[in-house]
Amino acid sequence: MPQPAFWILTVLAAGRRHGYEIMREASEASEGRVELKVTTLYAALERLEREGLIVADGEEVVNGRARRYYRITDAGSGRLTREIDVLARSVRAASERLAQVRIATLMPTLAEAR
């Protein structure tokens, strides 16, 4: 799953949001690693809506500007949960691999110290 989609679903898992809120909260939740541009955001929102992972959930006009709200669907929550599981397995595999490399690197050093 592309990062923009992951972070949009993550933000919407907390509740209904409009575009600017999604952009701001994705940046906060990712600790600044993901800065969604407007074009990226709305292209991702369209794709997620087509896939049935989110739905438009009303509009309101604030200061003369229309705000369209979105919410995650049950399918979107399920997809986000599966993606989190995949990422968690990837982190575990990478951590285990790194630990093996570190141990293999340490073994000759320990043998020399004896």
Average pLDDT, integer, range 78-82 = 98
Q: What is the DSSP string of 20-58?
A: HHHHHHHHHHTTTS----HHHHHHHHHHHHHTTSEEEEE
Q: What is the pLDDT of residue 111?
A: 61
Q: What is the pLDDT of residue 12?
A: 98
pLDDT band at 56 (very low <50, low <70, confident <90, very high): very high
Considering the chain, what is the average pLDDT of its residues?
92
Q: What is the pLDDT of residue 100?
A: 87
Q: Which domains does the chain have, with CATH numbers?
A: 3-113 (1.10.10.10)
Nearest Cα neighbor of 71 from 14, 25, 16, 23 is 16
Average pLDDT, integer, range 64-76 = 95
pLDDT band at 46 (very low <50, low <70, confident <90, very high): very high
Average pLDDT, integer, range 44-64 = 95
pLDDT band at 87 (very low <50, low <70, confident <90, very high): very high
pLDDT band at 27 (very low <50, low <70, confident <90, very high): very high
State the Cα–Cα distance between residues 69 and 18, nearest whole angstrom.
Answer: 4
Q: Residue 112 pLDDT > 80, yes or no? A: no
